[in-house]
Structure 1
């Protein structure tokens, strides 16, 4: 009986360990180059660099918000949202609506422009 109990206990522990494993990541998001170029232009137009240091944007290099260098490798957007292109696009367009209490203001971006901004930020590591 103790041998059967040990096997059963080992099986339960193994199942518990496997249940705690994260799902493998989905395919890596590869931004469209044209969308990324439009995103850079939108970033410059609305002045994202006034608050953030953004690779490829020479001036201004703000320090109020976090640096966006290596953005696609962070786990959570604003410490709260899973880092996905859809969440990022929604956040850059209207951060207070997506994450109540956010200090980032709503930005004058269309839905398409916000997706382009996301494409630029996710493409930074490819440069």
Structure 2
């Protein structure tokens, strides 16, 4: 007597089901809960970030020296050095030379609260 072939046909489905169990959901996009994105947008213009970066939503922010900051909230790393999270981004904005000595990103004297609000704005760009 022949055995039914349906268990063999279900094997690929079972393998895919087990393999998908190993995958974790992606982490939520980074954010700065206490930051004020609208103030951050104003600060980006005030500090002149757009002279080096292209930044959506900021008037005349079409610089080509630094990387474009489009979809910043969806990025994995900051400056290719730091995991993209709120603490790291605020540190980078406030003191880029401490993160990567000699980087082209200048130290603009951004205060901690200003860095927090700038980061809050950048995380709206996902």
Please give the range of the TM-score, normalised by the shorter of the 2 chains: 0.7 to 0.9
SS of 1:104 mapped into structure 2 = coil
Aligned length: 106
Q: CA deviation at 1:57?
A: 1.0
TM value normalised by structure 2: 0.73
Contact 1:46 1:108 (8 Å CA) reproduced: no
CA–CA separation in structure 2 for the residues paired with 1:60 and 1:52: 6
Structure-2 change in CA distance of 1:81 and 1:30 (3 Å): closer
Show structure 1 runs of 4+ deviating over 3 A. 21-34
Q: State yes or no: 1:53 paired with 2:59.
A: no
- Structural RMSD (CA): 2.3
Structure 1: unaligned runs, 5 residues or longer: 1-20
1 CA distance for matches of 2:93 and 2:67? 13
Gaps of 5+ in 2: 1-21
Query: In structure 2, do the counterparts of structure 1 residues 56 and 98 end up closer, same or farther at CA, with 3 Å as the change threshold?
Result: same
- Pick closer, same or farther for the CA change 1:23–1:102 going to 2, 3 Å: farther
Whole-Å Cα distance in 1 between the matches of residues 83 and 28 of structure 2? 15
Between structures 1 and 2, the one with greater helix share: 1
Measure, in 2, the Cα distance between the counterparts of 1:25 and 1:115: 24
Identify if the C-alpha distance between structure 1 residues 22 and 111 changes in structure 2 by more than 3 Å, giving closer, same or farther. farther
